[in-house]
Amino acid sequence: MSSILKVDEIQDTSGNNIINENANTVTIGKSGDTVNVVGTLQNGGTNFLQGITEAQQWRLTADFTGDAIPIASNWEIVDTTGQGYLGTGMTQSSGIFTFPSTGIWFVQFTVSYNQSGGTDTLLESNISVTINNSSFTDQCRCFTELGASGENQSVDTSTMIDVTDTSNVKVRFNVSSNASSNTVRGASGNNQTFVTFIRLGDT
C-alpha cells in the first residue's frame, strides 16, 4: 500500500527550508546551501547535460627549425600567472597526448612560424589521431606560405574528436614544409605555438 505525504514545506530541526512549494514553484534548500544530487538528474525523463568539465592548453616552450612528426618535446601546461585550466587535464609523453576522460573533445592547434631563410616556403600543420593506440591518421591539415626572410605568420587548425576509449584514442601534432628553413616559435612565458583541449560533452 502506497503512502502520500501532503505538505507545503519541509524544514530541518533548526527551522531551515529543505523543500518548499509555493505557487507551483518548488525550492530546494536555502540561500547558501549546496544541493548534492546522488544519481542522475533528469528533465522530463532526459538526463541534464553536464556542461564543460575539462578545458586546458599546452604550449611549446622553445623554438625549433625543420619538420617534426610529431612535435615530441618542450611541451608544458600553460601556467603563466592569470592562466589556468578546468578539470583533471591532459597527459603527454613524447608528443602523444592522452585524454583524461571519454567524450566529444574540441582540439585546436595554433602554430607560429618564422621564415629564417630566403626562399618561399610552404608550411603544413596537422592534427593526427589514433583510435587503436598505434596507427595515426591526419584529421585535419592546414597550409600556409612564407616568402621573405624574417616573415612571421600564425595559423590555426581544429577538429572534434570522439574519445570512446582513453587507452586507445590519442592525439599528436605535426609540422612539415618543403624547405628546412622554417622555424616554429615557442616560449615559456606566453602562448605562441599551443594546443587547446575542451571536453564538450558525453560521447
pLDDT band at 50 (very low <50, low <70, confident <90, very high): low
Please give the Cα distance from 101 to 88 (Å, whole number). 9
Residue 106 belongs to what H/E stretch?
strand 103-115
pLDDT band at 3 (very low <50, low <70, confident <90, very high): confident
**Mean pLDDT across the chain:** 89
pLDDT for the residue numbered 37: 74
Phi-psi region of 131 (alpha: psi -120 to 50; beta: other; left: phi over 0): alpha
Output the CATH code of domain 55-201.
Answer: 2.60.120.40
pLDDT band at 49 (very low <50, low <70, confident <90, very high): low
Torsion sign over Cα 161, 165, 166, 167: negative
The domain ranges of the chain are: 9-47, 55-201
Chain Cα centroid distance, residue 7: 47
Q: pTM of the prediction?
A: 0.78
Residue 194 has pLDDT above 70, yes or no: yes
